[in-house]
Homo-oligomer: A and B are copies of this chain.
Amino acid sequence: MTDSAKPRREQIYDVASRLFSERGYHATSMRDLAGELGIQGGSLYAHISGKEDLLVEIVRGASQQFDDSLFTLRELDLPADQKLREAMFRHIRVVADNMDSATVFFHEWKHLSEEPYAQVVAWRDTIDAFYRELVERGIEEGVFRADLDVRMTANLVLSAVNWTYTWYRPGGTLTPRDIAEQFAEMLLSGLRQA
C-alpha cells in the first residue's frame, strides 16, 4: 500500500513518527509536518486535534505492539531458555519493524502530559514484571542459575533488546532473528571460554 493510498490521518501519524524520531518532538513544528505532506499548517487540524495527540497516539501504538507481541508468550509452555530467546526475538522485532515510533517512544515519552505519562510508567512496570517472571520461572525450572539476581537479570535482558533502537539499521544483513539468537546465546552461555 503506497502512502497516497492510506487515509490522511495515517499518513500524518507516519510522517510525524519519522520527524519526531529524527528531530525530536519539540523541534518539529506543525508546519514542518504539513510541509512534508504538501499541505498548509492549519490544514492539519481538520484531521487531528493537536500536536500532543500525535505524540500520544505514536507512543500508545508502540506500547501496544510490545504488549501484543510479548504477552501472548506468557501462556506458552516452553523451557525458560527457549522462552527467553523467543521473547528477545519478538521484542527486537517490534523495535526493528517500528524504528521511528520506537525511537519516539524511548525518547519523547517524558514530554507527555500527566495521564499518558502515567500510562507509560505503568506500562514499563508490566514489561519489567514480564521479564522478571520469565527469569524466576527459569530458576524454578533449574534452567537458569539459582544465584541470579532476578531484577538485575531482567535489567540486563531489557538493556540488550531496548538498546537496539540506537544501532539497528533496517535493510542491513542482520535480521531481528539473527540479533536475538546471538544475544540470547551469549547471555545464556556466557562469553567465557568453557
Pick from A19-27, A34-42, A65-73 the stretch touching chain B.
Answer: A19-27
A192-B81, A193-B144 are known contacts. Are A110 and B186 too (CB-CB below 8 A)?
no
- Check if B163 sits within 8 Å of A158, measured CB to CB: yes
Output the nearest chain B residue to A193 by Cβ-Cβ distance. B145
Within residues 99 to 149 of chain A, which ones have a CB less than 8 A from any CB in chain B?
A: 107-108, 110-111, 135, 138, 142-146, 148-149
Q: How far is the CB of A107 from chain B (nearest CB, A)?
A: 6
Interface of A is mostly: helix
Interface residue A156 (Cβ < 8 Å from any Cβ of B): yes
Copies of this subunit: 2
One digit per residue, 1 when the CB lies within 8 angstroms of any chain B CB and 0 when it does not, for chain A 155-173 equals: 1101110111011000000
Interface residue A5 (Cβ < 8 Å from any Cβ of B): no
Q: How large is the interface on A (under 10, 10 to 19, 20 to 34, 35 or more residues)?
A: 35 or more
- Check if B186 sits within 8 Å of A189, measured CB to CB: no
Report B-chain residues with C-beta under 8 Å of the C-beta of A183.
152, 156
* Contact surface of A with B, Cβ cutoff 8 Å: 22-27, 81, 84, 107-108, 110-111, 135, 138, 142-146, 148-149, 152-153, 155-156, 158-160, 162-164, 166-167, 179, 182-183, 186-194
